Structure 1
Amino acid sequence: MMFSTTLKSALFGLGALAITASGALADDLADIKAAGKIVAATEMHYAPFDMLENGNYVGFDRDLFDEIAKEMGVAPVYEDLPWTSILPGLEVKKFDFVLAPVTMTAERADRYSFTLPIADATVTFVQRKGGKMTKPEDAKGLTVGVQKGTAQQKQLDAYSAKIGGFTIKEYGTNDEAYADLMTGRLDAVAGSAPLLNYLAKKRPDDFAVVNPPFGTPTYFGYVARKGEGDTLVAAVNDALKKIEADGRMKTLQEKWFGAATALPQMMPKL
């Protein structure tokens, strides 16, 4: 009996040690701190958040995450990947963090760990300057483009059903959709308000935003793996709060979006 009890205790101790070890190994923040760097993935074709200019990565996300990494005391490493491969790539641990602005939804929050909001993500339309639309409802019967696999696409599907239907064409990138809009293959493109406002501001002779936005008010956040990435998200949130409090967020918003927008300092209800 003594031997059996001792053996059981030893096995229990080994099991507890294994659980502790696996928990430590599953702490993304600890691994990042040990490596001294954080590898973040985004699609660098999502102006003004992520862009390539003369081969250099620039944009709101780049500037903001440089500041976040500085607060965390690690070096940022950026990877450019197609949007459709980013969330699956996070799950199989090809990188540490999703820097691409991810629309915050309840469905995604069940699978991933979201940071605090980093920007507005409400959906609207952009059309060619002088186009047919004066309000969102005018999309009925037209042909609208959207980036495939996005939360904006889901809202567009719902809006089409709501107003009686329009043709939806899916694109791999927003840039491809904008090109078809300019050639007349599309009547409009749906996307988040910051992207389309930036596009119209940069190319006022080509594009015009159709106001008001038609989508449900939503936000963009960054994403980590659920569970093992929770401490990482907490560290990023601490950095975001400092950046908001000392005015750096306002400066970056004005630089890239043309105006500052107040963001929730608590997780919004999804």
Structure 2
Amino acid sequence: MKKLSILLSILFLLLLPACSDNKNDHVWIAGTSADNPPYEFMQNGEIVGFDIDLINEIGKFLGKKLEFRNMEFHSLLAALSTNSVDLVIAGLSNTPERSSRVDFSITYISSEIAILYRKEDNFTNCKDLKGKKVGAQLGTTWNLIANELATANDFTITSLSGNLMLVEELKSRRIDALVLEEAQAKKFIEIYPDLARFAEKNLSSSFAIAMPKNSPHKQDIDRAIKALKNNGTTQALAKKWGLAGAK
């Protein structure tokens, strides 16, 4: 009887990982950085936004449930490499450096770059920023663009881990402007009417979902993105979140 009990215990331990794996097959852990309205941000204690709605729709299309992990933007790709998350959706652009570390889906939306500033300063273009301090979120494509603009227009860059911190720096006059995405700038102006923006028409950002290298989910996610664009779901979500002009 004792031997039978031991054998049953061993069998249970062997089967337990398999059962857990099967359960996890139906759930994706999505990493995001909820300080980028209207793509992902906190509202009444929940993460909401365009990206959140979109990945939930992708999950429905593919029969998956989503759980979210909120973290600083610059730590998202590291979370992929350690398998802490299954995918990342956070207004993330596909760059050569990033694509050497992770796989990307096809683009799900594109939009222009904007400069956010205090309305009283009345900036109209990047030349007005000469000698100024300009903020950008650490680890983002906007940070790379900000550094290129700084070289061309002779201003300095302050990089911080979150846009919410950067907006506070702007309001407190510790920086003079902030480089970010057009829809984000519009959202912050809705919240803080004393801010204004101008768009950089020749600069745009395209967003994609990041996955670990050789992810088995890439083809399915690409298929879902195409289907949601074709059936109008992506456009409806873009309109809901004030991204109607996004491509």
Name the TM tier (shorter chain). Answer: 0.7 to 0.9
Describe the SS at the equivalent of 1:117. Answer: coil
More strand by share: 2
1:193 lines up with 2:178 in the alignment: no
Query: Is contact 2:113–2:199 with CA below 8 Å preserved after alignment?
Result: no
**1:40 Cα deviation from its structure 2 partner:** 0.6
The partner residue of 1:255 within 232, 235, 240 is 240
How many angstroms apart in 2 are the aligned matches of 1:71 and 1:42? Answer: 20
Q: Which residue of 2 aligns with 1:219?
A: 206
Query: Is contact 1:72–1:239 with CA below 8 Å preserved after alignment?
Result: yes
Query: Is contact 1:125–1:213 with CA below 8 Å preserved after alignment?
Result: no
- The Cα offsets for residues 84-105 of structure 1, whole Å up to 9 and x where unpaired, read as 2110110111111112221121
How many angstroms apart in 2 are the aligned matches of 1:135 and 1:260? Answer: 21
The partner residue of 1:237 within 222, 225, 228 is 222
How many angstroms apart in 2 are the aligned matches of 1:120 and 1:194? Answer: 10
Describe the SS at the equivalent of 1:146. Answer: strand
For structure 2, list consecutive stretches of 5 or more residues without a partner in the other structure: 1-20
Describe the SS at the equivalent of 1:156. Answer: helix
How many angstroms apart in 2 are the aligned matches of 1:239 and 1:73? Answer: 11
How many angstroms apart in 1 are the aligned matches of 2:202 and 2:179? Answer: 10
How many angstroms apart in 2 are the aligned matches of 1:68 and 1:42? Answer: 15
How many angstroms apart in 1 are the aligned matches of 2:117 and 2:220? Answer: 40
1:109 lines up with 2:96 in the alignment: no
**1:132 Cα deviation from its structure 2 partner:** 3.8
- Root-mean-square deviation (CA, aligned residues, Å) is 1.9
Query: Is contact 2:112–2:199 with CA below 8 Å preserved after alignment?
Result: no
How many angstroms apart in 2 are the aligned matches of 1:133 and 1:143? Answer: 13
Describe the SS at the equivalent of 2:184. Answer: helix
How many angstroms apart in 1 are the aligned matches of 2:195 and 2:233? Answer: 30
1:61-140 equivalences under 5 Å are 61-140=51-130
> What's the TM-score once normalised by structure 2's chain length?
0.85
| Residue identity in the other structure for 2:210 | V
Q: 1:152 to 1:197 in 2, by over 3 A?
A: same
Q: Give the number of aligned pairs.
A: 227
Describe the SS at the equivalent of 2:167. Answer: helix
Describe the SS at the equivalent of 2:225. Answer: helix
| Residue identity in the other structure for 1:58 | V
